[in-house]
Amino acid sequence: MKRFLGFVKKEFYHIIRDYRTLVILIGIPVAQILIFGFVVSNEIRNTKISILDNSHDEITKKITNKIISSGYFDLHSYLNSYDDIETAFRKGNIKEVIIFESGFSSRLTREGEASIRIIADASDANTGRLITNYTQGIIMNFLKDLVPPGIEIPFTIDSRPRMYFNQDLKGVYMFVPGTMAMILILICALMTSISITRENELGTMEALLVSPLKPVHIILGKVTPYVLLSFIDGLIILLLGYFVFGLPFHGSLALLLSEMTLYVILSLSLGIFISTVAQSQPVAMIMSMLMLMLPTLLLSGFIFPIENMPLLLQGLSMIMPARWFIIILKNIMLMGTGILFVWKETLILLGMTLFFMILSIKRFKVRLE
Partner 1 sequence: MPAVEDIIIVRDMVKKFGKFTANDHLTFSVRKGEIFGFLGANGAGKTTALRILCGLSYPTSGEIKIAGYNVYKDREKIKKTIGYMSQKFSLYENLTIAENIKFYAGIYGLRRKVIDARTSELLDKLGISSIRNRLIRDIPLGWKQKLAFSVAVFHNPSIVFLDEPTGGVDPITRRQFWEMINESAEQGITVFVTTHYMDEAEYCHRVSIMVDGRIAALDTPGKLKESFNSKDMNGVFLTLARSKRMNAV
Q: In the set 203, 243, 311, 312, which binds partner 1 (CB under 8 A)? A: 203
For the bound state, the minimum distance from the C-beta of residue 208 to partner 1, rounded and expressed in Å, comes to 8
From the CB of 24, what's the least distance to partner 1, in Å? Answer: 30
Among 11, 43, 152, 369, binds partner 1 (CB under 8 A): 369
Residue 368 makes contact with partner 1 by CB under 8 A: yes
Among 106, 204, 224, 280, binds partner 1 (CB under 8 A): 204
- Kindly state the smallest distance separating residue 207's Cβ from partner 1, in Å: 4
Contacts with 334 (C-beta within 8 Å, 6 or more apart), sequence order = 123, 165, 166, 173, 248, 250
Q: Please identify, among the stretches 209-217, 247-255, 279-287, 342-350, the one whose residues bind partner 1 according to the rule CB under 8 A.
A: 209-217
How many Cβ atoms are within 10 Å of 120's Cβ, its own excluded? Answer: 30
Three-state DSSP at 72 gives coil
Give exposure, 41-75, as e/b (b: 16+ Cβ within 10 Å).
eeebeebbbbbbbebebebbeebbeebeeeebbee
Does residue 212 bind partner 1 (CB under 8 A)?
Answer: yes
Residue type at 263?
Y
**Alpha-carbon distances of 290 from 189, 191, 327, 361, rounded to whole Å:** 12, 15, 23, 23
| Contact between residue 116 and residue 100 where contact means Cβ atoms under 8 Å apart | yes
**Nearest distance in Å: CB 368, partner 1:** 6
- Closer residue to partner 1 (CB): 32 or 204: 204
Cα 14 to Cα 24: distance, rounded to the nearest angstrom: 14
213 lines the binding site for partner 1 (CB under 8 A)? yes
Q: Which of 207, 236, 239, 253 binds partner 1 (CB under 8 A)?
A: 207
Cβ atoms 55, 105 nearer than 8 A: yes
Sole binder of partner 1 in the list 153, 202, 220, 290 (CB under 8 A): 202
DSSP 102: T
Of 254 and 368, which has the nearer Cβ to partner 1?
368
Q: Tell me if 233 sits within 8 A of 183, measured CB to CB.
A: yes
Choice between 86 and 206, CB closer to partner 1: 206
Minimum distance from CB of 200 to partner 1 (Å)?
10
Single out the segment in contact with partner 1 by CB under 8 A; choices: 50-58, 201-209, 224-232, 253-261: 201-209
Question: Could you say which DSSP state residue 306 is in?
Answer: G
Does 209 bind partner 1 (CB under 8 A)? Our answer is: yes
Residues that bind partner 1 (CB under 8 A): 202-204, 206-213, 368-369
